[in-house]
């Protein structure tokens, strides 16, 4: 059994999860695995990224009937994958490994590009905005959102969870040239939470939300949550696991 690390451009896909008559990342991986193994093979991922969301480090469980070592797995699967889905690495894991249940943290990044025009080389991977943002205010609001809290205010409707408490350990805002990057790390994310938090910081950057609007304890009020931003600006960077697995 292996844990594979998968990168993909989500533009052409209706998200990670297999859907009838729709192209999905999981569907492409399962087709590749079936061709490699000679039989239907289920690929279980660490999370269901939405339609249009990208990944550099999605994790998934892969079982094979072939006598392969970890170093051979990426090349073997990539031979059957389209160019916008790539297995970047693989490690052998213990029997019973579960990519969701065993995950310790997930790291996402939402990227803005501040410019009056689109750049055709990056337009699929960033949200372009015309207005200058107050990055200092964004950072101050971000600091108030970090912690182990009830994040239900930032959850997109339609995906009920047993608990809406999550530990958001990192919410960083940084700049480089025309880009503003929001890095988010948590032990888990509610449906739509990463894109909604990015939207909340966008509100802050535009002056519509102040640090004092964010309560220091208890559930967050729904009126602090920003818009649910477009999927193409979001990328799943990595999923971390305890060692050994």
Q: For 226-238, write each residue's pLDDT tens digit.
A: 999 999 999 999 9
How many domains would you assign to the chain?
2
Residue 119: which residues within 8 A CB-CB, separation 6 or more? 113, 128
Do 84 and 163 belong to one domain? no
Residues of the chain with pLDDT > 70, as a percent, come to 98
CB 11: neighbour CB atoms within 10 A? 14
Residues of the chain with pLDDT > 90, as a percent, come to 92
Question: What is the pLDDT averaged over residues 102-114?
Answer: 97
Per the structure block, which two tokens stand in for 41? Answer: 């093979």
Question: What is the pLDDT averaged over residues 98-103?
Answer: 95
219 has pLDDT over 90: no
Do 14 and 72 belong to one domain? yes
Identify the bridge partners of residue 171 per DSSP, sorted by sequence position.
184
- Residue 245 domain-assigned (yes or no): no
Do 85 and 28 belong to one domain? yes
pLDDT digits (tens, 9 = 90+) for 110-163: 999 999 999 999 999 999 999 999 999 999 999 999 999 999 999 987 566 789
Do 80 and 171 belong to one domain? no
Do 80 and 159 belong to one domain? no
Pairing between strand 165-176 and 147-150? antiparallel
Give Cα separations from 109 to 38, 82, 237 (angstroms).
37, 24, 7
Query: Is-contact 29 85, C-beta < 8 A?
Result: yes
**Residue range(s) defining the domain that contains residue 43:** 2-92
Q: Is 172 a catalytic residue?
A: no
Query: Residue 245 has what pLDDT?
Result: 66
Catalytic entry in 9, 21, 50, 150: 50
Do 219 and 109 belong to one domain? yes
Q: What is the pTM of this model?
A: 0.94
């Amino acid at each position: 059994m292996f844990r594979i690390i998968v990168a993909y451009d989500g533009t052409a896909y209706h998200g990670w999860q297999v859907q009838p008559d729709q192209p999905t990342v999981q569907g492409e991986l399962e087709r590749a695995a079936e061709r490699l193994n000679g039989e239907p093979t289920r690929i279980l991922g660490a999370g269901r990224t939405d339609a249009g969301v990208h990944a550099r480090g999605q994790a998934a469980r892969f079982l094979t009937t072939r006598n392969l070592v970890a170093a051979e797995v990426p090349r073997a699967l990539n031979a059957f994958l389209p160019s916008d889905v790539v297995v970047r690495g693989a490690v052998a894991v213990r029997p019973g490994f579960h990519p969701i249940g065993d995950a310790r943290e997930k790291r996402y990044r939402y990227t803005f590009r501040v410019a009056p025009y689109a750049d055709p080389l990056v337009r699929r991977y960033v949200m372009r905005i015309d207005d200058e943002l107050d990055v200092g205010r964004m950072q101050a609001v971000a600091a108030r959102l970090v912690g182990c809290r009830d994040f239900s205010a930032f959850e997109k409707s339609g995906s009920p969870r047993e608990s809406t408490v999550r530990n958001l350990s990192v919410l960083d805002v940084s700049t480089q040239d025309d880009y503003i990057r929001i890095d988010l790390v948590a032990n888990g994310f509610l449906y739509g939470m990463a894109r909604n938090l990015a939207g909340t910081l966008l509100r802050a950057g535009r002056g519509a939300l102040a640090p004092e609007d964010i309560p220091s304890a208890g559930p967050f009020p729904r009126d602090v949550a920003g818009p649910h931003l477009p999927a193409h600006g979001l990328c799943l960077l990595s999923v971390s696991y305890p060692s050994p697995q």
